[in-house]
């Protein structure tokens, strides 16, 4: 199968283009592929992965580039390739189906479907020959094809049962009520999972779990229980010292293959770095840390140096270089000796560089003790020399498509980090990326789309895109006071409630008029490695309510949370960001800083408000000159401006004109 016959060659997705020269007759997701399967009377084989996925590359090299295996696939199936980052709705649907089959999820995701799209069998990685206690991929292909020919009724019945199960999961379950007692119980359940020695949740493999630790941060301020603050800071300390952090170039890898954050799975994802950057900003605002400031600064440097995609940010960096995982990032002791000479010994001691290697004969750089700012400063010249050498290596692949939801996460994180770390360049980068999304990631109707690459519009927008975009707009509004950001947030939120809303106040992942979405419209409130669109929208609605005092936002937030409480609030254990939205809605407030934004005192008061560490606080830099028709909420002016006023729970404090006193009050 030449590239001209492989239909992926017309795609804009870097992941799909990686497979454009496979001898497999790959199809794009869409109606044509399923109609062809119906005509040929064969099942659909759908393979889902992403450009930075190591095991996706392994299965591609072993099986999809093998002419014999490809011929078997082409003969017995219609084969469809999906970029999970480009089509998270498709990935979510079939990953849920795999879980319903009792299988553990992951990528590559390999599913077998009837021509109507109903999944009847699936798995993840299969080797080309039997090993790891698993059958070979050719054996699986033969078995499925035989079952389709000889046991068709049972196959179709199985697929219909799985589709019915997915529809039942997505169905409304009736309103529920959330209370502080429920947050207490869920918080206790989640905090019990924290590793008290190494930080983070659970054992190997270990992920940063951004949504859970963002929930912990809010729980600390709601309950004033230091366990939750310590869990967040423990995670950040471990990430900052471990091999999951790139000590030469900045940025964090997706997860650690061990329980000590030593050896990462080397791919770097935009969404992980956005969530970690935001946590660093929150924690630094509560107790300043030169280590957190350094990690934020260097991660921003990596972002601007390696992740720019025109005006916005690229999706990911690959784990592999020249077909070998992590090769770009690791070192031998001899390489360190040659590069650093007399300076090698202290560097090797600090970064766990061993003669025999600390991972598969090479060394993953990690701090041998908690990160020490003085030691790191002393070793900065050595790191710079190694970084310069590393820049000469063959680079991992960059997936340079722009995703609206992931960019929204990074824009909001940069806006908060700009305030916490007093870094105006971060805010300017956030504004630039937002303007790019607003101008370029829209369809002909003006609706947000999900993906864009090289001037080409990709998949249609999902709930996650609209929610993340609105959240980013609010972050920029609070950072600048410019009314256009608030107007965009309100407009996008209203549009999302109309296009994705359910009668009970819940939200679907796909729009009501989506043309090529899976048959079952999913309602997904569970947070994974990325926040759910439902959780993000919950925060948006709570923030809009506290900024504007508009009843429509409070009512929409109440209905959204009740819809997903489903009569049993503990069902929200896997939805920590929706719980955080409930906390924001019920406990939160708004700091209004009124005055000419060019006035130094107004600027100092606004900066103090933006550095407040409590996540359940909105900030309105209110310059009346920007609101000729009057600001929303009919807020009265204080007797003297510039001044700041903090309102929580229908109660407002006295106007404050001392930035330090305001900062102290917000911390308390």
Query: Does a structural domain hold residue 417?
Result: yes
User: At CB < 8 A and 24+ separation, what contacts does 297-302 make?
Assistant: 297/421, 297/423, 298/249, 298/250, 298/251, 299/250, 299/251, 299/252, 299/273, 300/250, 300/414, 300/417, 300/423, 300/425, 300/426, 300/429, 301/249, 301/250, 302/246, 302/249, 302/250, 302/251, 302/268, 302/273
CA-to-CA separations, 576 to 24, 184, 270, 385, in angstroms, rounded: 41, 12, 21, 42
Please give the pLDDT value at position 440. Answer: 96
On whether residue 494 sits in a domain, the answer given is yes
**Does residue 2 fall inside a structural domain?**
no
Give the number of C-alpha atoms closer than 13 A to the C-alpha of residue 531, restricted to the C-beta side.
Answer: 39
End-to-end CA, the chain: 66
Rg (CA), the chain: 26
Looking at the predicted structure, is the pLDDT value of residue 133 above 90? no
Domain for residue 255, yes or no? yes
| pTM for this model (two decimals) | 0.94
Specify whether 48 is located in the same domain as 132.
yes
On whether both 161 and 205 belong to a single domain, the answer is no
Q: Which of helix, strand or coil describes residue 498?
A: helix
Domain stop point among 392, 410, 445: 392
Nearest 5 degrees, angle CA 307-CA 310-CA 314? 30
Residue 96, pLDDT > 50, answer yes
Mean pLDDT of 506-529: 90
Question: Is the same domain home to 21 and 163?
Answer: yes
CATH for 648: 3.40.30
Domain boundary among 170, 205, 237: 170
Q: Give the chain's domain count.
A: 4
Convert the pLDDT of each residue in 167-221 to its tens digit. Answer: 887 777 778 888 999 999 999 999 999 999 999 999 899 999 999 999 999 999 9
Burial (Cβ within 10 Å: 0-12, 13-18, ≥19) of residue 225: middle
Mark whether 131 and 200 lie in a shared domain: no
| Residue 599 within a domain | yes
Residue-range definition of the domain harbouring residue 86: 7-170
- Residue where one domain finishes, among candidates 130, 145, 170: 170
| Residue 653 and residue 558 in one domain | no
d(C-alpha 310, C-alpha 612), whole Å: 32
Question: Which pLDDT tens digit goes with each residue over 295-305?
Answer: 999 999 999 99
Query: Residue 87: its pLDDT value, please?
Result: 93
User: Residue 490: pLDDT above 90?
Assistant: yes
80 and 153: one domain? yes
Residue 65 has pLDDT above 60, yes or no: yes
- What does the pLDDT read at residue 223? 96
Percent of the chain at pLDDT above 70?
99
Instruction: Give yes or no: residues 85 and 138 share one domain.
Output: yes
Whether residue 415 is contained in a domain is answered as yes
Per-residue confidence (pLDDT) for residue 3, from 0 to 100: 39
The reply to whether 148 falls in a domain is yes
Asked if residue 655 and residue 511 are part of one domain, the reply reads no
- For residue 388, the model assigns a pLDDT of 97
300 shares its domain with 429: yes
Question: Residue 568: which pLDDT band, with cuts at 50, 70 and 90?
Answer: low
CATH of the domain at 511: 1.50.10.10
The conformation of residue 589, written as its DSSP 8-state character, comes to: E
The closest of 587, 600, 413 to 579, measured between CA atoms, is: 587
Same domain, 415 and 527: yes
The CATH number assigned to the domain holding 84 equals 3.40.30.10
Residue 4 pLDDT class (50, 70, 90 cuts): very low
Query: Is 290 strand, coil or helix?
Result: helix
- 270 shares a domain with 162: no
How distant is the alpha carbon of residue 79 from its chain centre? Answer: 29
Return the structure tokens found at 574. 């896997």
Q: Supply the pLDDT for residue 570.
A: 67
Output the pLDDT for position 1: 41
pLDDT in tens, 573-621: 999 999 999 999 999 999 999 999 999 999 999 999 999 999 999 999 9
For residues 25 and 98, state if they share a domain. Answer: yes
Average pLDDT estimate for 13-25: 93
- According to the model, what pLDDT value does residue 461 have? 95
Residue 245 in domain: yes
């Amino acid at each position: 199968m030449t590239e001209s016959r492989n239909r992926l060659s017309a795609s804009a997705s870097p992941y799909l283009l990686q497979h454009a020269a496979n001898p497999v007759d790959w199809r794009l997701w869409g109606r044509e592929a399923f109609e062809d399967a119906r005509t040929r009377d064969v099942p659909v084989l759908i393979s889902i992965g992403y450009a930075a996925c190591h095991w996706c590359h392994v299965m591609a090299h072993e099986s999809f580039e093998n002419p014999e295996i490809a011929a078997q696939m082409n003969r017995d199936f219609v084969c469809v390739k999906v970029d999970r980052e480009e089509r998270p709705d498709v990935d979510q649907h079939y990953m849920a189906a795999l879980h319903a089959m009792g299988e553990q999820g992951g990528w590559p995701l390999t599913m077998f479907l009837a021509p109507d799209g109903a999944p009847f069998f699936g798995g993840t990685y299969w080797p080309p020959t039997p090993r790891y206690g698993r059958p070979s991929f050719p054996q699986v292909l033969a078995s499925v094809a035989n079952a389709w020919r000889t046991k068709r009724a049972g196959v179709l019945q199985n697929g219909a049962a799985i589709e019915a199960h997915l529809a039942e999961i997505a169905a409304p379950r009736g309103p529920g009520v959330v209370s502080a007692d429920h947050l207490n119980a869920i918080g206790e359940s989640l905090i019990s999972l924290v590793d008290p020695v190494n930080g983070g949740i659970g054992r190997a493999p270990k992920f940063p779990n951004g949504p859970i630790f963002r929930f912990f941060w809010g729980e600390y301020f709601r309950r004033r229980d230091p366990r939750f603050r310590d869990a967040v800071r423990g995670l950040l300390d471990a990430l900052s010292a471990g091999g999951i952090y790139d000590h030469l170039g900045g940025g964090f890898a997706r997860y650690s293959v061990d329980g000590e954050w030593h050896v990462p799975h080397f791919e770097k994802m935009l969404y992980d770095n956005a969530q970690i950057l935001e946590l660093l900003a929150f924690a630094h605002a509560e107790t300043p840390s030169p280590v957190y400031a350094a990690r934020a600064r260097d991660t921003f440097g990596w972002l601007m140096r390696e992740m720019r995609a025109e005006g916005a940010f690229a999706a990911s960096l690959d784990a592999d270089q020249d077909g070998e995982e992590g090769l770009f990032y690791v070192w031998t002791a001899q390489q360190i000796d040659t590069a650093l000479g007399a300076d090698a010994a202290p560097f090797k001691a600090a970064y766990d560089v061993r003669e025999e290697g600390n991972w598969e004969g090479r060394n993953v750089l990690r701090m041998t003790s908690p990160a020490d700012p003085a030691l790191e400063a002393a070793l900065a010249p050595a790191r710079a020399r190694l970084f310069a050498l590393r820049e000469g290596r063959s680079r991992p692949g960059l997936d340079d498509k722009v995703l609206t939801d992931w960019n929204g996460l990074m824009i909001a994180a940069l806006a908060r980090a700009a305030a916490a770390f007093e870094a105006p360049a971060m805010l300017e980068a956030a504004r630039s990326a937002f303007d790019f999304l607003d101008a370029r990631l829209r369809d002909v109707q003006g609706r947000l789309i999900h993906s864009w690459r090289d001037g080409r519009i990709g998949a249609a927008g999902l709930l996650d895109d609209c929610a993340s975009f609105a959240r980013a707009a609010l972050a920029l509004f609070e950072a600048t006071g410019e009314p256009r950001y608030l107007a965009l947030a309100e407009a996008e939120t209203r549009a999302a409630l109309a296009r994705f809303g359910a009668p009970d106040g819940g939200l679907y992942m796909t729009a009501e008029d989506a043309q090529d979405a899976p048959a079952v419209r999913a309602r997904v409130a569970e947070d994974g490695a990325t926040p759910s669109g439902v959780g993000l929208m919950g925060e948006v609605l709570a923030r809009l309510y506290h900024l504007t005092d508009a009843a429509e936002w409070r009512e929409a937030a109440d209905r959204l949370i009740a819809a997903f409480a489903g009569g049993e609030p503990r069902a929200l254990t896997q939805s920590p960001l929706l719980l955080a939205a409930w906390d924001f809605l019920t406990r939160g407030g708004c700091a209004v800083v009124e005055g000419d934004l060019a006035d130094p005192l107004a600027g100092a008061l606004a900066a103090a408000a933006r550095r407040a560490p409590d996540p359940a606080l909105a900030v309105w830099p209110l310059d009346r000159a920007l609101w000729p028709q009057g600001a929303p909420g009919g807020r009265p002016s204080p007797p003297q401006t510039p001044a700041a006023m903090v309102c929580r729970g229908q109660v407002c404090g006295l106007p404050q004109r001392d930035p330090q006193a305001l900062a102290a009050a917000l911390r308390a």
